[in-house]
Amino acid sequence: MAFIGEIFSQLKAAADITVLQEIRDGQVTGVTGAEFLELIRKARTFLAARSLKKGDRCGLLAANSIRWMALDLAGMAEGLIVIPLYFRQAPAELVAMMKDSTPSLVCCGDATLRDGIKQAWPEAPPYFLFDEIFAGAEGIALDRPQARDADPVTIIYTSGTSGEAKGVVLTAANVGFMLGCTSARLDSLMGGGSGQDRIFHYLPFNFCASWIATLTFLLRGSLVTLNTDLTKIPNDMPAVAPHYFLNVPQLLERMRRGVDEQIAQKGGVTLAVYSRAKSAWIRQKEKRAQAGDAIWLWLGQAVIFPAIRKKMVGENLKALICGSAPLTPETQDYFSMLGIPVLQVYGLTETTGICTMDDPNNVAPGRVGPAISGIEMRLGENDEIVVRGPNVFPGYWNRPQSTADAVRDGWFHTGDQGDMDASGNWRIVGRIKNLIVLGSGHKIAPEAIEEEIARQLPGAQQVVIVGNGRGYLSVIVTGSVTGEQVQVALDAVNPELPHYKQVRAFHLRQEPFSIENGMLTANGKLKRDLISARMKSEIEDLYQVKQAV
């Protein structure tokens, strides 16, 4: 049975149990398994009436919602290939994806999104709003999904950090395999306990790992609460009191800074205990404990840390799950200090979102866990991670040459550099195509240096190393920081680096790089080539000034 049928069976078993709910304007609304199946039936009836053929594409453009997921499952069940599109992405980029994938129709969350696309692409295919799709016309009960294991069920467009985004085709078999793996790992996390898992979810469904996670939650019969306003996460999260939820490093870094700032403002005894307990924790991890550390750490663990944990994530949390980018060991250790394990995952859209997952019983900070059972991973040329297994996609949509370049002799070439420790835990070093080659021939992965500088600059939004073909490295810093602060940060970081990795010059940019100004991908990754092109003049100035000196 394809995974869609398994999810439908689970929803039938949970007919009277709430499985999905969303927080909108402070109000929580939800659906039971039976109510969710009815939404799926309405969507399937609507799609079936459009005279679509199996394998036709269906665009899905909307923010996260219960109806988004119902329509996604309905489209796949009808044998369509669903193309999830990011509602915050620039219309020109969305149009390029749709022209590439040629959907027969587009299902749109609201009129504003529809009108934005129509303005950018007057010849767009037919658009239908959610309100029309779920209007409630009676139809035939379409119980049996048409999708089979070998059938493509989705085309998810990759980030496109250095060029035009490519459509990654995933089959029902890819997804079914991955759901079995993720569900088994959550079983391990929950200790095989009975009862309904509680999950808080805020990451957009059009991102592969977010989508896979949500399908896993539905397959497990969990209670999934959707956040619909990112500014409300600090309030919504503890109110939901989740057992676990999926995160990106950016949020965890923001949560960490937020705690430090709030306690600093509070001052008094709380600040004194927190600061001393945190310092004691760091010294203990570094095996250089001092007299009195045990007392301060005991006070922190008895009084301060539990209060922070409860206010931040509620009382039920088993772990935070983090992916999409490397998480600094310092942040992972910080949450561990609070009694909150952070489990990392690693993967790409081409690997159905995931290749490795931390073992809840054996977490190595700074690493992303071992390869999932059934998946092979090894190092190729330039320490590139290559992957083989049932999670690897069949190819890019309408791009046979790109597929042939990426998958060779059955191995998918990830483009990521990494290494594996003696326990089988992988570490991601950086992207091969991000390597900076200096005029001296030295090859430098910029990510680790950027992380160190950013750690010294809490007010920075982004830190971007440049210097390809140059004599030394420079850095672009965005956000509310001063030149003096950047210089202090460089003075702290440079002495720990070999001479060729030291950063010699910097440029301040007030406006952060963003999705809206085209400098970030849909999931927040830097478009380094575009940044270098748009800031060519500023980068040239950095090197002219230095050479004049």
Say which residue the tokens 């931390």 belong to: 358
Topology (CATH) of 435-548: GMP Synthetase; Chain A, domain 3 (3.30.300)
- CA–CA distance, 93 with 519 (Å, rounded to integer): 12
Q: What pLDDT was estimated at residue 548?
A: 34
- CA–CA distance, 62 with 110 (Å, rounded to integer): 7
**CB burial string 122-147: b at 16+ within 10 A, e below:** eebeebbbbeebbeeeeeeebeebeb
**CB burial string 396-429: b at 16+ within 10 A, e below:** bbebeeebeebbeeebbbbbbbbebeeeebbbbe
For 72-116, write each residue's pLDDT tens digit: 999 999 999 999 998 888 788 899 999 999 999 999 999 998 898
Q: What pLDDT was estimated at residue 547?
A: 40
Q: What pLDDT was estimated at residue 498?
A: 81
Does 3-247 carry CATH code 3.40.50.300?
Answer: no
Q: Residue 545 in 3-state DSSP?
A: helix
Question: Which of 521, 546, 542, 545 is closest to 531 using CA atoms?
Answer: 521
Q: What pLDDT was estimated at residue 440?
A: 74
| Structural contact between residues 39 and 46, judged by C-beta atoms closer than 8 angstroms | no
Q: In the chain, what are the domain boundaries?
A: 3-247, 435-548
Q: What six digits make up the tokens of 150?
A: 């070998």
For 337-389, write each residue's pLDDT tens digit: 999 999 999 999 999 999 999 988 888 888 999 999 999 999 998 889 999 99
Parts of the chain with a pLDDT under 50: 546-549
Straight-line distance from the first to the last Cα atom of the chain, in angstroms, rounded to the nearest whole number: 70
Q: What pLDDT was estimated at residue 158?
A: 86
